């Protein structure tokens, strides 16, 4: 059973029960009031007739004519008069009926203890009242009013009320149906949207209408689906990156291993000169060095992801000096001028990781520069945050290259990087170091003019 049906059916039943109960109670009260009015009228008319009979009986008694026959004659006159108005009279002397103008099966014993009552006989209804004649208690007068027409009128009214109740119930039931369907429509939309989300459509958005609880639920649902969509995209992107990493890693691993195996097998099977042997051994050593660098950087990545990094406050100038000392041989080999701007800044982080960060960025700058190029490194406070900048005047990169520069095994110039010993993991490692330090990494570059790497660390606490 659907949600709207669970609301509609109980509410409709409750509504119909209350409506018809109210109609029945109202009808019953009104009918009873009308019937009581008829009874009161009957009682009043009985009393008036009893007074008149008492006066007549007194006159007859004064004239010594109060006999059964004279009383019967008197009652015939009264009976004929009242019969035209739908009223029937009975007169009892003791327990004997000396006059009656009706065919009702009434006995004196049935009426003498009942002031007023109603009865039915042969599809007719009557209001009856009985009392002793005033000052002549041996005589009991029964006043019978025909209320059949009133009962028929109320029966017809009851039929009308029942049909009206059915029609009103049907109309209000339809109105209730459309109202509940309208109110349940947002929930129906949410249910359909939930089905779509379950099938993988995380971009679905349900229109928000109004400011009630359902509108709030809809907003929260849209926010939830958006968050789920973002997480799914992140997971898909992470899965894609992992797959790309494995594909590239397999390729990068297979190339040097193939070369090492090929040259080694060639040297074993073919007689070669000492000069060729040394040249092949040098190539094997360079490929082995590449494998060693690759394994070292992969190990560093594993350490970054699986271990907590010990953070401490360090002097930025000392970091820059240590990195410059490490880079000195490579700078000298290409006659590159390195400028380290003096600084008094401090940074909170891991000495080994931040030093590796500076060296990796600087080595990339060295690869990008021609002989005689220039590199500038600074670690100054900018907007209250320690900011590392490594700038070179090398060949630069376009925006597409910048977008992929931190992906594993990505190389701007693959041939040149391999020749200089790079494996394409340096900047990927740098991006992970930046992440664990909760810093921000940005590349500014222009083809032919050089590149600047900016890393902004969090505020010092």
- CB of 365 closer than 8 Å to CB of 330: no
Q: What pLDDT, on the 0 to 100 scale, is given for residue 298?
A: 63
Which is nearest to 140 in space by CA: 65, 57, 63, 50?
Answer: 50
What DSSP element (H or E) covers 65? Answer: none
Inter-axis angle of helices 148-198 and 3-62, to 10 degrees? 170
Question: Is residue 133 packed enough to be buried (19+ CB in 10 Å), middle (13-18) or exposed (0-12)?
Answer: buried
End-to-end CA distance of the chain: 59
Q: What pLDDT, on the 0 to 100 scale, is given for residue 307?
A: 62
Q: What pLDDT, on the 0 to 100 scale, is given for residue 111?
A: 65
Q: Tell me the CA distances in angstroms from 302 to 241, 248, 294, 405, 437, one per residue in order.
A: 16, 17, 12, 20, 16
Which is nearest to 34 in space by CA: 171, 159, 127?
Answer: 127
d(CA 92, CA 100) in angstroms, rounded, equals 9
Length of the chain: 461
Q: What pLDDT, on the 0 to 100 scale, is given for residue 419?
A: 47
Give one word for 409, left, alpha or beta, with left for phi > 0 and alpha for psi -120 to 50: left
**Residue 224 CB-half CA count within 13 A:** 12
Pairing of strands 374-382, 337-340: parallel
Q: Enumerate domains of the chain plus CATH numbers.
A: 3-163 (3.30.450), 203-306 (1.10.287), 308-456 (3.30.565.10)
Q: What pLDDT, on the 0 to 100 scale, is given for residue 392?
A: 94
3-class secondary-structure state, position 142:
strand
Give one word for 163, left, alpha or beta, with left for phi > 0 and alpha for psi -120 to 50: alpha
- pTM value? 0.48
Q: What pLDDT, on the 0 to 100 scale, is given for residue 417?
A: 47
Q: DSSP characters for 259-278?
A: HHHHHHHHHHHS---HHHHH
Q: Which residues contact 100 (CB under 8 A, 6 or more apart)?
A: 88, 89, 90, 91, 142
pLDDT per residue rounded down to tens, the chain (461 residues):
677 777 778 888 888 888 888 888 998 899 889 888 988 888 898 889 889 989 988 888 888 888 888 988 888 998 888 888 889 988 888 878 888 887 777 776 666 655 788 888 888 888 888 888 878 888 888 888 888 888 898 889 888 888 988 898 889 888 888 888 887 788 788 888 888 888 877 777 788 877 777 788 888 878 888 888 888 888 888 787 777 667 656 655 676 788 788 888 888 888 888 888 888 888 788 778 767 766 766 666 666 666 667 788 999 999 999 999 988 988 999 999 999 999 999 999 888 888 888 988 998 899 899 999 999 999 999 999 999 999 999 999 998 888 888 887 676 665 544 445 455 677 887 888 888 888 999 999 999 899 999 999 998 65
Q: What pLDDT, on the 0 to 100 scale, is given for residue 199?
A: 80
d(CA 206, CA 221) in angstroms, rounded, equals 8
d(CA 319, CA 291) in angstroms, rounded, equals 28
**Residue 37 CB-half CA count within 13 A:** 7
> DSSP state, 270?
S
Q: What are the tokens at 153?
A: 């009128």
Q: What are the tokens at 262?
A: 């090929």
């Amino acid at each position: 059973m659907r949600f709207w049906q669970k609301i509609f059916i109980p509410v409709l039943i409750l509504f119909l029960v209350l409506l018809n109960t109210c109609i029945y109670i109202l009808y019953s009260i009104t009918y009873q009031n009308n019937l009581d009015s008829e009874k009161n009228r009957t009682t009043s008319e009985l009393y008036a007739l009893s007074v008149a009979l008492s006066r007549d009986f007194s006159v007859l008694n004064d004239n010594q004519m109060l006999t059964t026959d004279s009383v019967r004659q008197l009652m015939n006159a009264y009976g004929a008069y009242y019969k035209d108005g739908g009223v029937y009279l009975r007169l009892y002397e003791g327990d004997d009926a000396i006059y009656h103008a009706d065919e009702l099966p009434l006995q004196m014993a049935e009426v003498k203890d009942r002031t007023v009552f109603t009865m039915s006989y042969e599809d007719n209804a009557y209001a009856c009242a009985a009392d002793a004649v005033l000052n002549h208690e041996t005589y009991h007068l029964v006043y019978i009013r025909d209320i059949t027409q009133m009962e028929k009128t109320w029966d017809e009214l009851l039929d009308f009320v029942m049909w009206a109740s059915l029609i009103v119930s049907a109309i209000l039931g339809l109105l209730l149906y459309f109202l509940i369907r309208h109110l349940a429509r947002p929930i129906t939309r949410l249910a359909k949207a939930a089905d779509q989300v379950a099938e993988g459509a995380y971009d679905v958005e349900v229109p928000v209408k109004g400011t009630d609880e359902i509108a709030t639920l809809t907003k929260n649902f849209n926010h939830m689906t958006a968050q789920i969509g973002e997480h799914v995209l992140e997971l898909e992107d992470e899965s894609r990156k992992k797959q790309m990493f494995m594909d590239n890693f397999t390729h990068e691993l297979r190339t040097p291993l193939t070369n090492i195996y090929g040259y080694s097998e060639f040297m074993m099977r073919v007689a070669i000169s000492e000069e060729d042997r040394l040249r092949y051994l040098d190539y094997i050593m360079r490929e082995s060095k590449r494998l060693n660098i690759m394994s070292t950087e992969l190990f560093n990545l594993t350490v970054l992801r699986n271990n907590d990094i010990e953070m401490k406050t360090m002097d930025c100038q000392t970091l820059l000096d240590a990195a410059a000392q490490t880079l000195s041989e490579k700078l000298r080999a290409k006659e590159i001028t390195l400028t380290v701007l003096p600084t008094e800044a401090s940074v909170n982080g891991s000495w080994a990781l931040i030093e590796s960060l500076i060296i990796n960025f600087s080595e990339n700058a060295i690869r990008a520069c021609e002989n005689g190029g220039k590199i500038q490194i600074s670690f100054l406070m900018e907007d209250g945050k320690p900011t590392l900048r490594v700038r070179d005047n090398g060949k630069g990169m376009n925006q597409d290259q910048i977008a992929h520069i931190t992906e594993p095994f990505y190389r701007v110039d693959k041939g040149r990087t391999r020749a200089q010993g790079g494996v394409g993991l340096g900047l990927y490692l740098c991006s992970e170091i930046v992440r664990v330090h909760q810093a921000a990494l940005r590349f500014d570059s222009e083809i032919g003019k050089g590149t600047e790497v900016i890393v902004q660390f969090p505020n010092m606490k």
